[in-house]
C-alpha cells in the first residue's frame, strides 16, 4: 500500500516537475527549490524535531491502550506547534528581505519568503496527522489521505504556476498545506481517534510530555537542521557563483535523490520505524526488520538506478525540458551517494526507537562536515559537480562507520544472504556508471551491456519464492480492486 502511494506520488510529481520546468525554466526552478529549502528549515524550528517522537509514543500508547496518555501527547503537540508556527511566520515576515538576500542573493524577492512562512505552521499541523496514523499503523488510512493530499496539491499548483510563475509555485505550498490540513484533521478527529475516546483541542502543553518529546526531538532537530543548513549553504554558493539556473540543474539530481528515490526509502521507514518501536524486547525481530528493509531497498534501487543512468538522455527532457540536459553529467556522482545510503540506511531504523540520540547527532554532524568540507575543496576544481561529488564521498565515508557502530552497539550485522546481494549489486551498478559516463554515446556500451548485466543480476538475485510472493500480492491487489468496483456498481444500481 505504501509503495502504491509512492508510485502515485511519483506520477503526480512528474506532472508538477514538468509544468515547473516548462514555465519556470532552470532559473525559476532554482529559485523555487531554494525557497522550499528555506521553508523546510523554518519548519524544523516549528516542530522542534519531535515528529519521530510523536510516531514512537503514539505507537506505544495505542498498543497499550493508554488513551489518556495519547490525548495528552497529541494536545501538547497540536498546541505547541501552533505557538511555534506563529512565531516562525512573524520572523519570516519581519526579516523577509534579509532572508531573501541570504538565500537567493536578491533582497527584492522577500515576498517569496513571506509566502513560504505562511505555509510553515500549516505544514507542521498536517504532519501531526500523518505521524499519528503512522504510529497507529493505520497504513491504509494514511495512504488514502496522502493520495488525496497529493492530488489536491497538483490541482492547486499547476494553475498557479501557469498564471503566476515563481510566485504561484511558492503560493501553492501554503494552499496545498491548508487543504491537506483540513481533510486530515477532519478524518483524525472524527474517525481515527474515536476508538480511543480522544478529542483534540488547544490547551496549555503538558510539561512532562513536552520534556519527553523535546528530549527525543533534540537529536532529530540537530539531524534535520544540520542537513537543511548544509544544503542551503551549498545551494546559496551555487546561486552566488554560477546563478540560479545552475541551481536549477542541481535540482534535477537533488530531486532524484530526495523526491523520487527518497519516496522508496520513506515507504520502508514509514513501516519499519514504528514496527521496531513495538518490538523493543525482541532483538531478533528487530534484526529481521532491518535485514528485510535492506533487501527491499537494494532489490528496488539497483534496477531503478541502472535504468535512470542508461536512459537519462531520454527522461530528463521528458520530465523537465531540453534546457535541463546539462544535469546529466551530475547524475553519476549523486546515485553513488544514494547507493551508499541504501546500504547503511536500514541499519539506522532502530536508532530512534532505541533512543540512541548521541549516535544520531554524531552521525549527522559528521556527514554534514564531510559534505561541506569536500564541497569547498572541490568547488574550485570541478565547479558545479562539487555538489554531487561531495554528497557521494560523504556517504561513502559514513557507510563503514555506521555499520561498525551498529556492530559495537548490539552486535548487529547484515545476514550473509544480504551481503551476497550487495556483492552482486555493486558490479552491475559500477559497470553502468562507468559506461554511461563515457563522452561518446555508443548503443552497445551505453544501453545493451548495462541492460544485459541487469537481467543477469535479476536472474541470480531474485528467488523463485520472491517472484511468487510478488505475483500473489499483485493478484490480491487486482482482486481487491475488482471487488471494490463491483460493490460500488451494485450500490449505484440500488440507488437508481
Distances (CA, A) of 487 to 147, 148, 333, 368, 479: 21, 21, 50, 53, 12
Determine contact, residues 301/309, Cβ cutoff 8 Å.
Answer: no
What's the pLDDT score for residue 488? 61
Determine contact, residues 301/454, Cβ cutoff 8 Å.
Answer: no
pLDDT 10s digits, 332-391 = 899 999 999 889 888 888 887 777 878 888 888 899 999 999 999 999 999 999 999 999
- Calculate Rg over the CA atoms of the chain: 23
Q: What is the DSSP track for 139-194?
A: HHHHHHHHHHHHHHHHHHHHHHHHHHHHHHHHHHHHHHHHHHHHHHHHHIIIIITG
All three cell numbers of 413: 550485522
- The count of other CB atoms within 10 Å of the CB of residue 95 is 14
Q: In the block, which residue shows the cell 496539491?
A: 153
Q: In the block, which residue shows the cell 493508554?
A: 66
Confidence of residue 212 (pLDDT cuts 50, 70, 90): confident
User: Residues of the chain with pLDDT > 70: what percent?
Assistant: 91
Torsion of CA 101, 118, 53, 216, to 10 degrees: 40
By C-alpha distance, which of 346, 177, 357 is closest to 276? 346
Span 157-161, average pLDDT: 90
Which residues, 6 or more positions from 280, have their beta carbon under 8 angstroms from its beta carbon? Answer: 286, 353, 354
The chain-wide mean pLDDT, for the chain, equals: 83
**323 phi and psi, to 5 degrees?**
-70, -10
Examine the pLDDT at 408 and tell me if it is beyond 70.
yes
All three cell numbers of 464: 523463485
pLDDT 10s digits, 277-311 = 778 788 888 889 889 888 888 888 899 899 988 88
What's the pLDDT score for residue 369? 94
All three cell numbers of 311: 536512459
pTM here? Answer: 0.70
Determine contact, residues 51/194, Cβ cutoff 8 Å.
Answer: no
Structure-model confidence comparison of residues 8 and 317, the more confident one: 317
User: Residues of the chain with pLDDT > 90: what percent?
Assistant: 18
Confidence of residue 481 (pLDDT cuts 50, 70, 90): low
Span 176-190, average pLDDT: 82
By C-alpha distance, which of 293, 10, 1 is closest to 138? 1
Which residues, 6 or more positions from 405, have their beta carbon under 8 angstroms from its beta carbon? Answer: 359, 363
Examine the pLDDT at 30 and tell me if it is beyond 90.
no
Confidence of residue 400 (pLDDT cuts 50, 70, 90): very high
Determine contact, residues 19/161, Cβ cutoff 8 Å.
Answer: yes
Q: How far apart are CA 83 and CA 305, in angstroms?
A: 43
What's the pLDDT score for residue 223? 72
Give the burial string for 1-13 (b: 16+ CB within 10 Å, else e): ebeebbebbeebb
What's the pLDDT score for residue 234? 92
- The count of other CB atoms within 10 Å of the CB of residue 16 is 18
Structure-model confidence comparison of residues 367 and 57, the more confident one: 367
What's the pLDDT score for residue 374? 95
Examine the pLDDT at 244 and tell me if it is beyond 90.
no
**What one-character DSSP code corresponds to residue 105?**
S
Which residues, 6 or more positions from 178, have their beta carbon under 8 angstroms from its beta carbon? Answer: 122
What's the pLDDT score for residue 486? 72
What's the pLDDT score for residue 216? 64
Q: In the block, which residue shows the cell 537519462?
A: 312
Confidence of residue 493 (pLDDT cuts 50, 70, 90): low
Q: How far apart are CA 234 and CA 224, in angstroms?
A: 15
Amino acid at each position: 500500500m505504501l509503495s502504491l502511494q509512492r508510485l502515485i506520488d511519483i506520477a503526480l510529481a512528474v506532472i508538477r516537475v514538468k509544468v515547473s520546468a516548462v514555465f519556470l525554466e532552470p532559473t525559476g526552478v532554482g529559485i523555487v527549490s531554494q525557497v522550499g529549502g528555506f521553508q523546510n528549515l523554518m519548519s524544523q524550528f516549528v516542530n522542534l524535531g519531535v515528529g519521530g517522537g510523536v510516531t514512537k509514543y503514539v505507537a506505544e500508547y495505542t498498543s497499550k491502550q493508554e488513551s489518556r496518555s495519547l490525548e495528552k501527547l497529541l494536545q501538547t503537540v497540536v498546541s505547541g506547534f501552533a505557538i511555534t508556527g506563529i512565531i516562525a511566520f512573524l520572523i519570516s515576515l519581519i526579516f523577509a528581505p534579509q532572508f531573501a538576500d541570504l538565500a537567493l542573493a536578491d533582497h527584492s524577492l522577500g515576498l517569496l519568503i513571506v509566502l513560504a512562512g505562511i505555509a510553515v505552521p500549516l505544514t507542521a499541523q498536517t504532519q501531526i496527522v500523518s505521524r499519528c496514523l503512522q504510529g497507529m499503523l493505520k497504513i491504509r488510512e494514511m495512504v488514502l489521505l496522502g493520495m488525496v493530499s497529493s492530488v489536491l496539491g497538483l490541482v492547486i499548483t499547476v494553475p498557479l504556476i501557469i498564471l503566476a510563475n515563481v510566485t504561484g509555485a511558492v503560493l501553492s505550498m501554503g494552499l496545498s498545506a491548508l487543504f491537506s490540513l483540513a481533510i486530515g484533521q477532519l478524518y483524525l478527529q472524527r474517525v481515527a481517534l474515536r476508538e480511543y475516546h480522544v478529542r483534540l483541542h488547544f490547551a496549555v502543553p503538558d510539561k512532562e510530555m513536552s520534556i519527553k518529546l523535546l528530549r527525543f526531538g533534540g537529536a532529530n532537530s540537530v539531524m534535520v537542521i544540520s542537513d537543511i543548513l548544509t544544503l542551503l549553504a551549498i545551494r546559496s554558493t551555487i546561486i552566488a557563483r554560477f546563478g540560479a539556473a545552475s541551481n536549477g540543474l542541481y535540482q534535477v539530481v537533488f530531486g532524484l535523490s530526495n523526491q523520487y528515490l527518497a519516496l522508496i526509502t520513506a515507504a520502508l521507514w514509514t513501516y519499519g520505524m514504528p514496527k521496531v518501536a513495538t518490538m523493543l524486547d525482541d532483538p531478533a525481530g528487530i534484526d529481521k526488520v532491518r535485514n528485510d528493509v535492506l533487501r527491499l531497498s537494494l532489490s528496488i534501487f539497483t534496477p531503478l538506478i541502472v535504468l535512470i543512468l542508461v536512459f537519462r538522455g531520454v527522461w530528463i527532457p521528458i520530465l523537465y525540458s531540453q534546457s535541463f540536459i546539462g544535469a546529466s553529467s551530475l547524475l553519476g556522482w549523486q546515485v553513488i551517494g544514494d547507493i551508499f545510503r541504501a546500504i547503511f540506511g536500514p541499519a539506522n531504523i532502530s536508532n530512534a526507537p532505541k533512543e540512541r540520540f548521541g549516535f544520531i547527532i554524531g552521525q549527522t554532524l559528521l556527514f554534514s562536515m564531510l559534505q561541506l568540507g569536500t564541497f569547498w575543496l572541490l568547488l574550485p576544481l570541478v565547479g558545479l559537480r562539487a555538489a554531487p561529488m561531495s554528497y557521494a564521498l560523504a556517504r561513502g565515508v559514513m557507510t563503514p562507520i555506521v555499520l561498525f557502530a551498529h556492530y559495537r552497539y548490539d552486535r548487529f550485522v547484515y545476514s550473509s544472504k544480504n551481503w551476497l546481494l550487495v556483492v552482486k549489486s555493486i558490479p552491475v551498478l559500477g559497470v553502468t556508471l562507468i559506461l554511461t559516463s563515457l563522452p561518446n554515446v555508443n548503443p552497445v556500451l551505453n544501453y545493451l551491456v548495462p541492460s544485459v548485466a541487469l537481467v543477469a543480476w535479476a536472474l541470480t538475485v531474485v528467488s523463485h519464492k520472491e517472484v511468487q510472493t510478488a505475483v500473489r500480492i499483485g493478484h490480491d491487489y487486482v482482486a481487491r480492486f475488482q471487488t471494490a468496483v463491483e460493490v460500488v456498481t451494485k450500490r449505484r444500481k440500488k440507488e437508481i
